[in-house]
Amino acid sequence: MMVLSQLITTKMSTTRYHPASIFLHWFVFLLVIAACIAIELKGQFPKGSEPRELCKSIHGMIGQLIFLAMALRLMVRFIYGVPKPTNPKPIFVSLATAMHWLIYALLLISPIFGFLYFQYGGKEIHFFGLVWPQMLTPNSEMKKLVEGIHEFLGNTLYFLIGAHALAALWQHYVVKDDTLRRMLSKVKAITE
């Protein structure tokens, strides 16, 4: 937590992302990969088996971490803002803005539907030794509905993240702007 508080108190320049934004961007990216691996591994085990249930539990815990990290990321964004786009064409700015907010929304909403899935399934939801109380009456029909929504949101998220990554690579290699470098924080922005 000390490192995170130091990242948050660092001032952001007008041409670079705040260090906490960069950290949380890549942290969420790694969490999404871990969540994907856990849920894909689940399919390798028979229904009702202990390893399958463990994969679902790990996926659920990672989803909770994604939700918390995204809430923190949005707070950092609102407090420190983001640098101005390096490509001033309005169409690209609009598309990038829409893409970011859609990804943010899905990264917040998808874990909520995952939480609802566990609640409607009557299963315990663990979070680092804590167990969430059962707040909803188990309901198999609602469980199936929220599971479908959660899967749809997850698949949409994978597509958007892929498009986001391709756009970043396109900007870096074709447009040759410094958007990707600013998020990697390895090379000073061209405009500095």
Domain range annotation of the chain: 2-184
Share of the chain above pLDDT 70, in %: 85
**What are the structure tokens assigned to 161, written together?**
């993240």
Matching residue, tokens 């917040």: 108
Q: Phi and psi dihedrals of 163, rounded to 5?
A: -65, -40
What are φ and ψ of residue 131, in 5° steps? -125, 125
pLDDT-derived band at 190 (thresholds 50, 70, 90) equals very low
Half-sphere exposure of 33 (CA within 13 A, CB side): 7
pLDDT-based confidence at 177, cuts 50/70/90? confident
* Contacts of residue 173, Cβ cutoff 8 Å, sequence gap at least 6: none
- pLDDT, tens only, 152-163: 999 999 999 999
Query: In this predicted structure, what is the pLDDT of residue 156?
Result: 95
Q: Average pLDDT over the chain, rounded to whole? A: 85
Instruction: Report percent pLDDT > 90 for the chain.
Output: 57
pLDDT at position 58? 93
Count of other CB atoms within 10 angstroms of residue 175:
14
Compare 192 and 17 and report the one with higher pLDDT. 17
* Distance from C-alpha of 61 to C-alpha of 50, rounded to nearest angstrom: 16
Residue 123: pLDDT above 70? yes
Q: Cα separation of 57 and 129, whole Å?
A: 12
Rounded CA-CA distance 148/178 in Å is: 39
Crossing angle of helices 2-9/19-42, nearest 10°?
A: 130
Which pLDDT value is given to residue 91? 83
Question: pTM of the entire structure?
Answer: 0.82
Q: How far apart are CA 164 and CA 101, in angstroms?
A: 12
pLDDT band, very low/low/confident/very high, at 182 (cuts 50, 70, 90) = confident
What is the predicted pLDDT for the residue at 14?
58
Q: CATH number of 2-184: 1.10.238, 3.30.300, 3.40.50, 1.20.120?
A: 1.20.120
Residue 186 contacts residue 174 (beta carbons within 8 Å): no
Buried/exposed code over 34-50 (b: 16+ C-beta within 10 A; e: otherwise)? bbbebbebbeeeeeeee
pLDDT, tens only, 49-108? 999 999 999 999 999 999 999 999 999 999 998 888 776 678 878 888 899 999 999 999
Question: In the predicted model, is pLDDT for residue 8 greater than 70?
Answer: no
Is the pLDDT score of 134 beyond 50? Answer: yes
**Rounded to 5, what percent of the chain is helix, strand, coil?**
70, 0, 25
Distances (CA, A) of 179 to 146, 155, 171: 36, 26, 7
